[in-house]
Amino acid sequence: MSPTFTFTDTVLVLAVISGTGPTTGGTTVTVIGNDFQYGATVTFGGSNATNVIVNNYFTITCTIPAHAIGAVDVIVTNLDTSTGTGTGIFTYSVFAPTVTAIDLNFGAAAGGEQVIITGTGFVATPSVKFGGTDATGEVFIDSTHISCVTPAHAEAVVDITVTNPDTQIGVLFNGFTYTTVSPFTDVNGWWYSSESFAGGTQLALTPGVPKHPRDWDKIAAFATAGSGMLGGSPAASCVFNNHIIYAGDDYTVNTDQPPIRIFDGSSDRLMAKIPNAASGVITKAIISMLLIDGIIYLTTLDSGTTSADFAGRVFAFDPLSTNLTPLGAAFSGGELPYALAWHMDRLWLGTNKGNGTAGKIYFIRPFIDTVWTTDHDLTTDTVGGACSLMSFNGKLYVGTDNVNAVFAKVLVRDTAGVYTTSDTGAGGTAKVNNGFLTLIVFESNLYATYWNPDTTAISIIRKFNGSSWSTVYTGSSLTLRPYILTFFDKTYLYVVGGGDTLRASLLRSPDGTTWTDLTLYLAGPITETALPIYGVVYT
């Protein structure tokens, strides 16, 4: 017997997954049925659902409205006025939330720790108490997660209480431990951990920490010009002989020369200062550093306030003799020396104008050549300036930024010197200085971090295995940040997010695929941000 098919134009509303929800509304559900059309509306007990999305002919997702307790009809109405009713297929109930876990589960008696509470049945505008004291800054993330800041409390083990607006309560007994001293002692962003930044045995460095590393205000003239999180690539620091060598912040812009400092895990001292430009202008800041064969190559922002007049230089710095040697002539006319990489036994430099307009790619053989060779003008690729450079599989990769409405690209230079597009940014509407801020090679793959400062920002990590690109991480909530720094230590890849006015984030991966969010383990107040400066010292 041949199968029989029956076709119908009748709207059918068969079920709702799940079939129950809180009286306060706010829960996302899926309506199952037939003949759903794009543009359809949905009501629950006569009240309009919100965020209605017609996925296909058979399913609609939407957010339920508030309603009194009881079973209600669910009605779907298409644009052509055809309707279907599911009689009494959804039930409003008063739900008590459950609280199952909290991260972090301990903190200072002074309060101020940002935590994530996990459970079920959370709804919008909850209230949270720790030992009967109100938390602050409650943020309803979704029905299973709430973010908040711990209140002050005497040293004790306390219950955590979550109360929904309908007064239903969930409790995690003995869920949080208050200590007289925070286990995450603020040491200006530096700490010691025997678990590779995992935080479980985090201790303050003793007896000292690096003196204040170069802050955002020192490059404000450049970064603010393009409203971008442009901090320097690969970083404004490096590690030499188990010492962190970094751009210091203990100077006044336009008055003092920027210092280079060294930290060995206990003490910190001055190594050198950047000499004035030929015109006598005092350098504003060190932008980036790269360590190759015992020599540190660094770039500077010497002067300028716009993409028309930025100027800077590149130096070779010998950490043993502390000699600074200029490489080639200074860059001017808005072209700031920004990103560094070592490729084909040459030092490569990418310039950036801070506003998404085109820079150039240069190379030089340090201590052999006296001038920089122009290798490529990025205007030919419809991209902006260079944000990052990396040598991978015998080719040079260039992470770029771009102007408003045009997505940035990762370019690749082949062995014949031809530049082509390897990857293109995506997500949202491209804004000025959307760009691939960092590049790093980890376990035979190339990783790129991409940031688009759209109204709803896009922050992702991309992986290139030599033949194709894929997205391996997408930022959200506390990790929705421009990823300005990538590095690896032992067997882990680390990605640091942050920027001027943006709280720091920290991600870790053992394989580039599985990621652990360590943001809540960062030391210091939740208002602190990250800088493109890092170092790993073994003590």
Which tens digit of pLDDT belongs to each residue from 8-35? 468 999 999 878 888 878 888 999 999 9
Q: Give yes or no for residue 447 having a pLDDT over 60.
A: yes
Q: Which residue has the higher pLDDT, 209 or 390?
A: 390
Cα 508–Cα 534–Cα 264 angle in degrees, nearest 5: 125
Enter the CATH code of domain 216-521: 2.120.10.80
Going by pLDDT thresholds of 50, 70 and 90, the confidence category of residue 202 is very low
> For 312-318, what is the mean pLDDT?
98
> What is the mean predicted confidence (pLDDT) over 305-310?
92
Query: Does the structure show a pLDDT above 90 at 330?
Result: yes
Predicted pLDDT at 395: 98
Task: Say which CATH topology domain 12-93 has.
Answer: Immunoglobulin-like (2.60.40)
Q: Higher model confidence: residue 441 or residue 113?
A: 441
Highest mean pLDDT among 19-28, 94-103, 387-396, 485-494: 387-396
Q: What tokens were used for 426?
A: 């995506």
- Helix or strand (DSSP H, E) at 220: helix 220-223
Q: How confident is the model at residue 181 (pLDDT cuts 50, 70, 90)?
A: very low
Residue 189 pLDDT level (bands cut at 50, 70, 90) = low
> To which H or E segment does residue 222 belong?
helix 220-223
Question: Which segment of 84-88, 315-319, 322-326, 476-480 scores lowest on mean pLDDT?
Answer: 476-480
Residue 19 · residue 27 · CB < 8 Å: no
Lowest-pLDDT range of 190-204, 216-230, 247-261 = 190-204
Is residue 224 over pLDDT 80? no
DSSP percent split of the chain into helix, strand, coil, nearest 5: 5, 50, 45
- What is the Cα–Cα distance from 389 to 440, expressed in whole angstroms? 9
pLDDT score, position 525: 56
Residue 56 corresponds to which tokens in the numbers above? 């296909």
Looking at per-residue pLDDT, the higher value among 476 and 436 belongs to 436
pLDDT at 187 over 60: no
Q: Which CATH class is domain 98-179?
A: mainly beta
**Positive or negative torsion for Cα 421, 424, 429, 435:** negative
Write the pLDDT tens digit of every residue in 49-84: 999 999 999 999 999 998 988 899 999 999 999 999
**C-alpha closest to that of 163 among 94, 107, 110:** 94
What are the structural domain ranges in the chain? 12-93, 98-179, 216-521
- Predicted confidence at residue 158, as pLDDT, reads 93
Residue 279 has pLDDT above 80, yes or no: yes
**Average pLDDT for the chain:** 88
Instruction: Decide the pairing of beta strands 41-44 and 28-34.
Output: unpaired
pLDDT reading at 508 higher than 60: yes
Indicate the pLDDT class of residue 182, thresholds 50, 70 and 90.
very low
**The predicted structure's pLDDT at residue 239:** 94
With cut-offs at 50, 70 and 90, classify the pLDDT of residue 184.
very low
The pair phi, psi for residue 519, each rounded to 5°, is -55, -40
Helix (H) or strand (E) holding 223: helix 220-223
**Structure tokens that stand for 154 in this block:** 């005497």
The mean pLDDT of 120-133, rounded to a whole number, is: 90
pTM equals: 0.68
pLDDT of residue 228: 65
The 3 state secondary structure assigned to 70-137 is EEEEEEEECCCCCEEEEEEEEEEECCCCEEEEEECCEEECCCCCEEEEEEECCCCCCEEEECCEECEE
- Write down the pLDDT at residue 200: 45
Residue 327 pLDDT > 80, yes or no?
A: yes
User: Which residue is associated with the tokens 């296909």?
Assistant: 56
Binning pLDDT at 50, 70 and 90, where does residue 191 land?
Answer: low
φ and ψ of 224, to 5 deg: -70, -30
Residue 378 has pLDDT above 50, yes or no: yes
- Render pLDDT for 42-53 as a digit per residue (tens, 0 to 9): 999 999 999 999
Please report the pLDDT score of residue 247 as a whole number.
97
Domains 98-179 and 216-521 share a fold: no
Instruction: Tell me: pLDDT of 232 over 60.
Output: yes
Predicted confidence at residue 227, as pLDDT, reads 56
Measuring CA to CA, which residue among 220, 217, 282, 215 is closest to residue 254?
Answer: 282
Residue whose structure tokens are 């460095």: 205
Tokens for 170? 């969930």
Spell out a b/e string for 80-103, using b for 16 or more CB atoms within 10 Å of the CB, else e.
Answer: eeeebebeebbebeebbbebeebe
Which of 226-240, 359-373, 480-494: highest mean pLDDT?
359-373
pLDDT at 534 (0 to 100) = 83
* Residue given tokens 């493109």 in the structure block: 532
Q: Which long-range contacts (CB under 8 A, 24 or more apart) does 44-52 make?
A: 44/72, 44/73, 44/74, 44/90, 45/70, 45/72, 45/73, 45/90, 45/92, 46/72, 46/73
Cα 40 to Cα 81: distance, rounded to the nearest angstrom: 9
Listed residue (288, 304, 295) closest to 325, CA to CA: 295
* pLDDT at residue 203 tops 70: no
Q: What percent of the chain has pLDDT over 90?
A: 64
Is the pLDDT reported for residue 207 higher than 60? no
